[in-house]
Structure 1
Amino acid sequence: MSKGAASNLLFQSSDWNFETLARTYDAIEEIALEDLGLDVYPNQLEIISSEQMLDAYSSVGMPLMYQHWSFGKRFVFEDHLYRRGRRGLAYELVINSNPCITYLMEENTMAMQALVTAHAAFGHNHFFKNNYLFRQWTDASAILSYMDFAKKYISKCEERHGTPAVEAILDSAHALMEQGVFRYRRPPRLSTEKEQERMRERLEYEEQTFSDLWRTLPPAGENNDPTQLERELSERKKSLNLPEENLLYFLEKTSLILEPWQREILRIVRVIAQYFYPQRQTKVMNEGCATFVHYTIMNNLFDQGKISEGAMLEILQSHTNVVFQPGFDDPRFPGINPYALGFAMMQDIERICVAPTAEDRDWFPEIAGTGLWRETLLDAWANHRDESFILQFLSPALIRKFRLFLLTDEADDNFCEVASIHNERGYETIRGALARSYDIGSSQPDIQVMDVDLLGDRHLRLQHNVKNGVLLEENSRDATLRHVRRLWGYEVSLAGVDMESGETLYECSTEELSD
């Protein structure tokens, strides 16, 4: 390499310092903003050790997190695998906040620091700021201050009420986190500092005035008039906004046994669950966006002569490992790699926009041959989640590349049937089936609060809307019901109802469960 070419490089060795990081960041930012047209939160890069990265893993990736025994258990597990060489660590960790915080591993080489800066500080950052789900369900400007409040509040509760009492509430709340999100309506925004101060004053007042006397009220007298009972049930559901999909929210607002500090802990857990809800719906898109961004930026820097061939080979090796898709018969097969599928779809969109085939023009007439791949990707990143993105943009060419086909089976049969292959009708069926597999509504159990008579026996009735005959695992179901019972304080029952026929498939109650 000539002396002039070497002087143009952003870095010449694997060693790094903060000056090199800053110079490389500026070069990456220029391409990200001016060439790709990304729109990002202000960035905050922080360097952490491997132990700090393990600690972040253990506490769901948040820079501020309350203490709980499950986090320590996971830390020991992850640390054991890492020290034995059976599991590597992520090169980075990025927080959906404003400013967007990206943690870089201090053990990374400079080439890897450049790669993960492009991946996280610009790819993920842009997606967090612009995707409609994150804009609708999260508040990036408030999450860090809220987590600081949550950590201090739970620590204060441990001092006042004892660690066992706090952990008991957290155990039950964590068990219900997947049923602790709003899926179809917007939750309240996180509190500002002024609102948080009012909330603290309200909690202190409630704690001072809390009384157990109302729990001694006798149940209401029995009423056997069917018409009157039906009218009371209708009015009761209306007053309580039933059915309610967010179980943690219902328990926080309605439970008759929880003290104010316990209600606030439930709220903290469900706010965190809501924060991660968009990420569960956009894994393919989020990782695909970040991978496409880092791949494009790194190749652009290489073409400009700012990255050496050696550094580019290291970057490509890491990139290849990330997007590797094992075959279905490979012992390493974990399912479809979201990095692989997301990145392949982003590249395929660019190909369709720039060099479409006749097949592409038939399937994607709006974008084929327009050359507007940047605009198409920016629009897709902003307005889709995994399910709709795959349904809209998965091409027959990519279906063939991934060798996708559709299997169907019946519970009573001892064989599977190949239902769709690579033909015109098969492509649409495969694309639709793959898209549905990324719909949380089809993969997560639909459990809702259906009824509770607060003036009577206070029996809490839940309903599991069963899809495709898929029932809950019995041991896990019963254990979770016990947690609901702990937070509710009275009998809890769960009925499984087939969504198509309306038939009741099973019924269980906490009265039937042994402790």
Structure 2
Amino acid sequence: MSKLLFEGPEWTFELLGQAHDAIEEIALNELGLDVYPNQIEIISSEQMLDAYSAVGMPLMYQHWSYGKRFARDEALYRAGRQGLAYEIVINSNPCISYNMEENTMAMQTLVMAHAAFGHNHFFKNNYLFQQWTDAAGIHDYLAFAKNFVANCEERYGVEAVEEILDAAHALQSQGVFRYGRPPRPSKEELQAMQRQRDGYESQQSVLELWADNMGHRDNDATAEDGELSQRRGKMNLPQENLLYFLEKHSPVLKSWQRELLRIVRYIAQYMYPQKQTKVMNEGCATFTHYYIINRLLEKGLISEGSYMEMMHSHTNVVLQPEYDDPRYGGLNPYALGFAMMQDIRRICEDPTEEDREWFPDIAGNPDWKSVMRDAWANYRDESFILQFLSPHLMRKFKLFMLSDDAKQPNLVVSNIHNRQGYRNIRAALARSYDLAYLEPDIQVDDADLSGDRELKLTHSVRDGINLDPENRDEVLRHLKRLWGYDVSLTARDSASSSRISHASTAA
């Protein structure tokens, strides 16, 4: 009698259950994975497009930008110019995986191993997701957000709601806490939030808000400095999270508008760990499915034909096009992540002298699975690359480093494959995944509610890379809509603090 889990391309829910159990046996008992309970949903291509448009989140509130994205992706998909993912997985408890109904049984098996166990384990165990997300509460919060936005549209009008959401979306990358958690709200603040969510409108006037922030003004410079220091201390300035600051201190926003800002920044914060772990997360999931499908073949649970179908998909996923290939778009996070996971296993099982020199703590360690789980739990992309990228892999990927000095007429190859070159290349590649370096450092510097009420921002410019003026001015207009008064942005060099540019919404 055949031991195969399935024999043809057609899937049934019974076959999916059998495959899931076989995958789970390998994932938990051999790889030692620790996962949330799985909930696997089978959806159509249209539903997958819908999930795409709403940044992969279920129960997402409505916004015109999601519909625009849906229309674009659907047109490309129907024209054969864009494919769809085989699955989408949600960081939640239970962990929800959406699998395409068009998948063959072999592909359903592959994506279950990839998402329901690889991504699932990473979501549950990586420190960023543990510290910054609430997997058990995300479904309830999204349901609340969807209903709250819909109720606001009905009560205040679609245009009024979209105006706030448009501004909040424009600022959502600056609506996260990068270095520390927000102050924990007091009992009174929590009760106030609940009243807002229940439909209670605060009757506190703008004048009362100003009065709360007004103090004795003195013409003496020392008194002004003291007042500035006191004002900044009261508002916890400087503040990196612009949406949080606006939610707490905007003189003009109503309570329902503040709640909309809170919804956008909460979801932005929830997604922030995924932006920091793209290489690791996909590397973990790809390594997991690769290990599992090979073990299924070794145990005689899948046919060679099914295995070849899975490997064909796997090979496409981890393809790294050459720099002169039309498909090249930088380093493929699947390719780099999977290669680094495979390399860690190689260093543990069959290290070279070079490996022993560069990785003395793990080279020759027979328990490579434990090393892998520790890496998945305790690193993000930047630190993972800085710690584990080996000279062997740098040679395999043919990495080198160019220096672009504005004072020189030509690019210079500054680092190649030698001892110091490896370290410099690894450090430069790691920094390219550091969001603190990639995203602009913009902070609220001052806001005098008892004076001109201008919101003053400072942008710390790194390596001379300033903001695009057109985009900057558009975002400042969104800021002004949420603040109610003029907004200015001063760009200063991060090293010297010298002023580079200044922009303001003032006429």
Measured against the shorter chain, the TM-score band is over 0.9
Alignment partner of 1:207 is 2:201: yes
User: SS state of the match for residue 227, structure 2?
Assistant: helix
1:439 is matched with which residue? 434
For 2:262 and 2:398, the matched residues in 1 are separated by 45
Q: Secondary structure at the match of 2:444?
A: strand
Q: Is the 8 A contact 1:139 1:189 kept in 2?
A: no
State the distance in 1 between where 2:349 and 2:13 align: 39
What is the TM-score normalised by the length of structure 1? 0.95
Q: Match for residue 266 of structure 1?
A: 261
After TM superposition, give the deviation of residue 173 of structure 1 in Å: 0.2
SS of the counterpart of 1:136? helix
- 1:224, distance to aligned residue in structure 2 (A): 3.2
CA displacement at 1:222 relative to structure 2: 6.7
5+ residue gaps, structure 1, are none
Question: 1 CA distance for matches of 2:190 and 2:16?
Answer: 37
1:199 counterpart letter in structure 2: M
One-letter amino acid of the counterpart of residue 114, structure 1: T
The yes-or-no answer on 1:49 pairing with 2:44 is: yes
Asked if 1:399 is matched to 2:394, the reply is yes
Once the two structures are TM-superposed, the CA of residue 226 in structure 1 deviates from its matched residue by: 1.3
Q: Which residue of the other structure, out of 405, 410, 422, is the alignment partner of 1:415?
A: 410
Q: Which residue of the other structure, out of 74, 78, 88, is the alignment partner of 1:79?
A: 74
Counterpart residue number, 2:325: 330
Q: Is contact 2:217-2:224 (8 Å) kept? A: no
The structure-2 alpha-carbon separation of the partners of 1:456 and 1:203, relative to structure 1 and needing over 3 Å to count, comes to: farther
Offset, 1:331: 1.1
Change (3 A) 1:404 1:67: same
Q: 1:329 to 1:411 in 2, by over 3 A?
A: same
Aligned to 2:287: 292
Corresponding residue for residue 179 of structure 1: 174
Question: Is the counterpart of residue 490 in structure 1 residue 462 in structure 2?
Answer: no
After the TM superposition, which residues 164-243 of structure 1 pair with which residues of structure 2 at under 5 Å, given as runs?
164-187=159-182, 199-203=193-197, 206-207=200-201, 209-212=203-206, 214=208, 223-243=218-238
CA deviation string 1:340-368 (max 9, x = no partner): 00000000000000001111111111111
In 2, Cα distance between the equivalents of 1:332 and 1:56?
Answer: 25
Q: 2:120 aligns with which of 115, 125, 131?
A: 125
SS of residue in 1 equivalent to 2:377:
helix
Summarize the Cα distance change of 1:232–1:211 in structure 2 as closer, same or farther, 3 Å threshold: closer
Could you say if the C-alpha distance between residues 237 and 196 of structure 1 is closer, same or farther in structure 2, counting changes exceeding 3 Å?
closer
Residue 367 of structure 2 is matched in structure 1 by 372
Letter in 1 for 2:201: E
- Match for 2:55: what amino acid? V
Paired residues of 2:210 and 2:449 also in contact (CA < 8 A): no
For residues 129 and 56 of structure 1, do their structure 2 counterparts lie closer, same or farther at Cα, with a shift above 3 Å needed? Answer: same
Task: State how far apart, in whole Å, the 2-side matches of 1:395 and 1:298 are.
Answer: 26
Q: Secondary structure at the match of 1:207?
A: coil
Which amino acid in 2 is paired with 1:338?
A: P
Structure 2 residue ranges without an equivalent (≥5): none
- Aligned mates of 2:246, 2:367 — CA distance in 1: 49
Q: Which residue does the alignment assign to 2:503? A: 508
Does the 8 A contact of 1:119 with 1:291 survive in 2? yes
1:464 aligns with 2:459: yes
2:273 is matched with 278
Q: SS of the counterpart of 1:209?
A: coil
* 1:468-492 deviations in Å (ceiling 9; x for gaps): 1100001000000000000000010
SS at 1:451 equivalent: strand
Contact 2:247 2:261 in 1 (8 A): yes
User: Which of 158, 161, 166 lines up with 2:156 in the alignment?
Assistant: 161
Distance 2:210 2:459 in 1: 31
Please say if residues 243 and 451 of structure 1, whose CA atoms lie closer than 8 Å, have aligned partners that are also in contact.
Answer: yes
**2:196, 2:256 within 8 Å by CA — same for their partners in 1?**
no
TM-score, length of structure 2 as denominator length: 0.96
Residue pair 1:127, 1:286 contacting (<8 A) in 2 also: yes
Amino acid corresponding to residue 340 of structure 1 in structure 2: A
Shift of 1:329: 1.2
Q: Indicate the SS of the match to 2:506.
A: helix
Give 2:494's aligned residue.
499
**Alignment partner of 1:317 is 2:312:** yes
Using a 3 Å threshold, how does the CA distance of structure 1 residues 439 and 246 change in structure 2: closer, same or farther?
Answer: same
Secondary structure in 1 matching 2:398: coil
How big is each residue's C-alpha offset from its partner over 1:380-412, in whole Å with a ceiling of 9 and x where there is no partner? 000000000000000000000000000111123
- Which residue of the other structure, out of 234, 242, 249, is the alignment partner of 1:247? 242
Q: Deviations over 1:182-202 (max 9, x none)?
A: 0111247899xxx98973324
**Aligned mates of 2:414, 2:202 — CA distance in 1:** 64
Task: Identify the residue that residue 347 of structure 2 maps to in structure 1.
Answer: 352
Partner amino acid for 1:99? P
Correspondence for 2:57: 62
Counterparts of 1:489 and 1:198, CA distance in 2: 22
Amino acid at match of 2:111: V
CA distance in 2, matches of 1:100, 1:78: 26
Residue 210 of structure 2 contacts residue 251 of structure 2 at CA under 8 Å; is this kept in 1? Answer: no
Question: How far, CA to CA, are the matches of 1:219 and 1:236 in structure 2?
Answer: 9
- Once residues 491 and 175 of structure 1 are traced to their aligned partners in structure 2, the CA distance between those partners, rounded to angstroms, is 17
Conserved 8 A contact 1:405-1:420 = yes
| Change in CA separation of 1:212 and 1:431 when aligned onto 2, cut-off 3 Å | closer
Which string of whole-angstrom CA distances, capped at 9 and with x for unpartnered residues, describes residues 300-357 of structure 1?
0001111101101100000000000001111110100000000000000000000011
Residue 11 (structure 2) pairs with residue 16 (structure 1)? yes
Superposition RMSD on alpha carbons, in Å? 1.9
Could you tell me how far 1:50 is from its partner in structure 2? 0.1
Distance 1:197 1:53, change over 3 A: farther
| 8 Å CA contact 1:142, 1:190 repeated in 2 | no
* Change beyond 3 A, Cα 1:187–1:304: farther
